[in-house]
């Protein structure tokens, strides 16, 4: 088997072929359907919503192969890590887990262990597995998720380490079985990959070229979710605003949102928006349709136009603010962002530009990160003299400001009533929890009948990260 290993390659991962992307249907080989009888799997997922959704597909496939899930790694016959490469700490967590699994496997040598997701697409990670983690049975990448049944079958027959990672995307595979975490809200992929190549980011190498799903397939999936009683869909992609560009002459995200809105699903979210592709038509569509949420996650990354240029983001601080103002003109909209501090060469002045931008935008909330150099990315080759301590200080100062504005935006909601999709029992005793249209977490008093429904909640109190309230209807 070793001779046929398929190892990742960055030259191929960077290339963008003009080949037409084919669409095919998932088929489960009859002989794989019983492999998991009386066997348990343990699946650990790192990373973004796209990875979470891939894990829902992984679970779907494993359940069709008769496996059942266990939450205890020690009880599993098959352990799978679905990994993320975005920052160093995601790496460290996955490798730490592999360390634990190594001990377990010394006691139970028959367990099958596999690794998939974005880290599998990294040359350095695969080299390290080949050198130091030979007990792993197989590794597969983001472009051949649907090979899992075959690889698992091979592994039970011949447990020797096998790597099957393709650096270039293949077909779009429709109808992979899915086992969704929630009965009320669902993820729906609309576009795979990313062609933006921001200089700090590894995703274009781990997820391949931008490929839109056909609109008919997306709408069919949403209609089925409506039939099954789902209250909310999140349309997913690394850059959803590029939807359709690789597939249609005259059909973009705004058009897709209109078609999805017409299915009458109560709530439609979309993630993530790159400011570069955000059209005026999209702003209008958000305004017009009630079931398209008034919520936009619009990562800015930095408030310094100089740093934005080095990041390859292709907008300036000024043009970001212009777009931001257009969106703020929508009633009750909530806007959140992502910010990186400590990009190579970021000066105190650049950082203050970021603080200025935050003071201007007053985001509803934000995810903030210290820049983490990623293998093979252009930014990782830039000189970086800012000491880590300084970066940590900047992150701290930034978070103080972000939290202040989060709390302000939450305080404005006190005394008013909002629709909340109830998800279940809160960690706070005797309370339920759910999210507003604007993605604010609310803990509230109410009866369990509310679970799975959109209810009206009066907000009584606000904190930086959540709201407290009570059901009024
Ligand atoms: N496609 C989305 C972001 C996906 S990654 C977009 O373009 O906005 C989520 C966030 O991780 C990014 O917005 C960025 O803030 C952060 N991130 C990505 N690469 C990073 C790196 N090398 N170091 C630190 N943060 C990073
Ligand atoms: Fe990464 Fe930029 Fe693509 Fe987002 S748009 S996934 S940050 S390359
Ligand atoms: Fe991580 Fe890959 Fe998502 S790198 S953030 S899991 S696309």
Please indicate whether residue 206, judged by its CB atom, sits closer than 6 Å to ligand 3. yes
Q: How far is the CA of 201 from the centre of ligand 1 (A)?
A: 6
| CA–CA dist 28, 37 (Å, integer) | 16
Does 151 map to a domain? yes
- Residue whose Cα lies nearest atom 24 of ligand 1: it is 371
Please indicate whether residue 94, judged by its CB atom, sits closer than 6 Å to ligand 3. no
Check the CA dihedral 272-274-279-284 and report its sign. Answer: positive
CATH for 310: 3.30.750.200
Assess whether 301 and 363 both reside in one domain: yes
CATH for 427: 2.40.50.140
Residue 2 pLDDT: 47
DSSP character string of 237-287: -TTGGGTTTTT-SS--HHHHHHHHHTTT-SEEEEE---GGG--HHHHHHHH
Last residue in a domain, options 411, 433, 452: 411
Contact 346, 354 (CB under 8 A): no
Does 69 map to a domain? yes
Please indicate whether residue 91, judged by its CB atom, sits closer than 6 Å to ligand 1. no
Assess whether 22 and 138 both reside in one domain: yes
Closest CA to 162 of 147, 145, 140, 132: 140
Does 226 map to a domain? no
Last residue in a domain, options 411, 443, 458: 411
Assess whether 390 and 422 both reside in one domain: no
**Positions of the chain with pLDDT under 70:** 1-3
Mutate to test the pocket of ligand 1, among 51, 301, 335, 338 (most ligand atoms within 8 A of CB): 338
Assess whether 15 and 140 both reside in one domain: yes
CATH for 51: 3.40.50.12160
Residue 440 pLDDT: 97
- Residue whose Cα lies nearest atom 1 of ligand 1: it is 238
Residue 313 CA, closest ligand 2 atom number = 2
Assess whether 395 and 448 both reside in one domain: no
Does 446 map to a domain? yes
Proximal ligand: closest to the CA of 199:
2
Q: How many domains does the chain have?
A: 3
Assess whether 397 and 467 both reside in one domain: no
- Residue whose Cα lies nearest atom 4 of ligand 1: it is 238
The whole domain housing 466 covers 417-471
Assess whether 51 and 146 both reside in one domain: yes
Residue 274 CA, closest ligand 2 atom number = 5
Does 267 map to a domain? no
Last residue in a domain, options 111, 142, 164: 164
- Residue whose Cα lies nearest atom 19 of ligand 1: it is 201
Assess whether 158 and 15 both reside in one domain: yes
Helices 253-261, 215-227: crossing angle, 10 deg rounding: 30
Assess whether 14 and 102 both reside in one domain: yes
Please indicate whether residue 10, judged by its CB atom, sits closer than 6 Å to ligand 1. no
Assess whether 340 and 433 both reside in one domain: no
Identify the residues whose C-beta falls under 6 Å from ligand 2: 194, 196-198, 201, 203-204, 238-239, 274
Assess whether 451 and 352 both reside in one domain: no
Contact 335, 296 (CB under 8 A): yes
Does 332 map to a domain? yes
Assess whether 320 and 464 both reside in one domain: no
Does 276 map to a domain? no
Does 39 map to a domain? yes
Its pTM surpasses 0.85? yes
């Amino acid at each position: 088997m070793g001779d046929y290993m398929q190892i990742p390659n960055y030259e191929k991962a960077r290339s963008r072929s003009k080949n037409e992307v084919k669409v095919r249907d998932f088929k489960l080989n009859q002989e794989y359907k019983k492999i998991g009888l009386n066997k348990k799997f343990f699946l650990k997922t790192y990373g973004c919503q796209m990875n979470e959704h891939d894990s829902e597909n992984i679970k779907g496939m494993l359940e069709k192969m008769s496996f059942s899930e266990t939450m205890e790694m020690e009880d599993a016959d098959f352990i799978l890590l679905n990994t993320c490469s975005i920052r160093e700490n995601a790496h460290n967590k996955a490798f730490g887990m592999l360390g634990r699994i190594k001990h377990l496997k010394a006691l139970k040598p028959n367990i099958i262990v596999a690794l998939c997701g974005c880290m599998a697409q990294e040359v350095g990670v695969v080299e390290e597995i080949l050198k130091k983690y030979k007990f792993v049975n197989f590794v597969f990448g983001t472009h051949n998720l649907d090979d899992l049944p075959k690889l698992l079958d091979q592994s039970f027959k011949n447990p020797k380490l096998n790597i099957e990672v393709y650096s270039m995307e293949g077909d779009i595979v429709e109808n992979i079985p899915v086992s969704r975490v929630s009965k009320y809200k669902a993820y729906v992929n609309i576009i795979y990959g990313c062609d933006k190549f921001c200089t700090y980011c590894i995703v274009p190498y781990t997820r391949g070229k931008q490929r839109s799903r056909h609109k008919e397939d997306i709408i069919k999936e949403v209609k089925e979710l409506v039939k099954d009683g789902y209250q909310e869909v999140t349309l997913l992609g690394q850059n959803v605003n590029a939807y359709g560009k690789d597939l249609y002459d005259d059909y973009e995200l705004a058009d897709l949102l209109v078609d999805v809105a017409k299915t009458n699903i109560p709530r439609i979210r979309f993630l993530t928006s790159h400011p570069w592709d955000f059209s005026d038509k999209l702003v209008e569509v958000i305004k017009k349709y009630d079931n398209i949420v008034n919520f936009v996650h619009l990562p800015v990354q930095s408030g310094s136009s100089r740093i934005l240029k080095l990041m390859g983001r292709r907008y300036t601080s000024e043009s970001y603010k212009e777009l931001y103002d257009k969106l703020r003109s929508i009633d009750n909209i909530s806007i959140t962002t992502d910010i990186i501090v400590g990009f190579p060469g970021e000066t105190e002045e650049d950082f203050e530009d970021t603080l200025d931008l935050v003071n201007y935008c007053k985001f509803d909330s934000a995810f903030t990160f210290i820049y983490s150099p990623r293998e093979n990315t252009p930014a990782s080759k830039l000189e970086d003299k800012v000491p880590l301590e300084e970066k940590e200080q900047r992150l701290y100062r930034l978070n103080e400001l972000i939290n202040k504005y989060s709390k302000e935006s939450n305080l404005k909601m006190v005394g008013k009533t909002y629709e909340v999709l109830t998800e279940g029992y809160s960690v706070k005793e005797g309370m339920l929890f759910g999210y507003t249209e604007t993605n604010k977490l609310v803990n509230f008093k109410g009866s369990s009948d509310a679970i799975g429904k959109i209810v009206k909640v009066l907000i009584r109190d606000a904190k930086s990260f959540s709201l407290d309230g009570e059901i009024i209807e």
